[in-house]
Structure 1
């Protein structure tokens, strides 16, 4: 069996997240269905991690095993010809049998886009969170910097998430404001709890509005108390930018 690695870009607006589920359209289902048609066999695609409903990806990574002799270029072209316009395989390669898209990843990079202006942008509405109130981006950046390092991120996880440990390592953060009123938060870590980035972003917005200070943001993180953190930011502003491997 060959092991094939793919990089996928998608607009998650119309999908109920990555993972296949009964009665709901998902990215995994769409990819597996067209892969099966191209390779004439049942294909199970494993991603680096799940994305929630409405979340987008610039560089989701996944892999699957197949017995087909088709060149990878033909697999890519064939699948892209059958996929809907909101999903595309942007890169493909054959990898060693030992490669696993999830377990071999060293880090993931997420970006969150926020449009900070008095009036909403209809053309951007599917790809950012609109916040009308002026935001102090310098204070938000200071708060975000406190995320770096290894911490227990219980304060920023969604309720009901079942994981062995809530500790994660954040390698880098940045928060920038562009000339066109876009605020872009980027975070790289070895893994993320469910809704962690969106919960962080909602709390950073509280910092930007002056509701809490950067020091309070850090104390919220250290407390592990989800009730002290801000609201979960909406999904449409979140993008899985890149998955990095060892």
Structure 2
């Protein structure tokens, strides 16, 4: 009888071509590295599924994955799966927790919504230590302007204006529950967005558009006009990848309750 394992993983996306395997084959993806590590631990072919893809250079604090193994795992034995897998992974990828999941759990299909965060340094000079983990903008940015423009993202809309060319989808309608700009600390802006789902590069395109509107001195209401246009050409360029983080993936409580943690802390 097969065992389905669910786990959360954090990673520094620097140096990877993104989550998904790409061509040419010499590009290294996060999923590829984890799959290879799993195959070493379990000595069998492993197919890995995740809540979604992240682009090259994008980071994650809590990406959710699952796979199925022919090995029977007993939670009572408290095998530290995370430690075993981390021993086969580079320091830039860390498995945090793992559970035995019910058969109906699927990391991609069972997800109900996600939270992303974007970090932006706003100061005269770039940061030597944060250049891999935040974007940089030299000219002063008005926080209140970004806060006002983000209000027009809330609700269910057709976000076609913020979809980059790439993965095909059935429709471009998504619902945004939270879209907030804040000052994390002096000189560091933080954008947090939670939604039912996100199109390819949607968060980066939203951030790039908010900055474009502010820089051009347009009214925050311009964000609503760009959404209504459903035209990618009307929106701004994508913000740099290194500022984006997948923060959390949400699942139905009834599924969470059926997951049994392996080696609980």
Q: TM-score range with shorter-chain normalisation?
A: over 0.9
Aligned to 1:20: 21
TM-score (norm 2): 0.90
Asked if structure 1 preserves the Cα contact closer than 8 Å seen for 2:39 and 2:46, the reply is yes
1:87 aligns to 2:93 (yes or no):
yes
Asked if structure 2 preserves the Cα contact closer than 8 Å seen for 1:134 and 1:209, the reply is no
Aligned-residue RMSD, C-alpha: 1.2
1:67 deviation in Å?
1.4
Aligned to 1:236: 242
Q: 174, 180, 190: which one pairs with 2:180?
A: 174
- Alignment of structure 1 residues 21-170 onto 2, 5 Å: 21=22, 22-70=25-73, 73-170=79-176
Moved more, 52-61 or 62-71: 62-71
Aligned to 1:197: 203
CA distance in 1, matches of 2:9, 2:211: 30
Alignment deviations for residues 150-199 of structure 1 (CA, whole Å, 9 cap, x no partner): 10001001024421100001111111013331100000001000010000
Unaligned stretches of 5+ in structure 2? Answer: 253-265
1:226 aligns to 2:229 (yes or no):
no
1:23 deviation in Å?
2.5
Unaligned stretches of 5+ in structure 1? Answer: none
Cα distance change on mapping 1:177 and 1:25 into 2, 3 Å:
same
Asked if structure 2 preserves the Cα contact closer than 8 Å seen for 1:137 and 1:208, the reply is no
1:206 deviation in Å?
1.7
Aligned to 2:194: 188
CA distance in 2, matches of 1:180, 1:80: 35
1:144 deviation in Å?
0.8
CA distance in 2, matches of 1:55, 1:223: 28
Aligned to 1:9: 10
TM-score (norm 1): 0.97
Asked if structure 2 preserves the Cα contact closer than 8 Å seen for 1:47 and 1:102, the reply is yes
CA distance in 2, matches of 1:96, 1:159: 35
Cα distance change on mapping 1:47 and 1:190 into 2, 3 Å:
same
**For 2:189, what is the secondary structure of its paired residue?**
strand
* Runs of 4+ off more than 2 Å: 69-75, 207-212
CA distance in 1, matches of 2:86, 2:214: 41
Moved more, 23-32 or 205-214: 205-214
Alignment deviations for residues 104-143 of structure 1 (CA, whole Å, 9 cap, x no partner): 1110100000001111111010011100111111111111
* Number of residue-to-residue matches in the alignment: 246
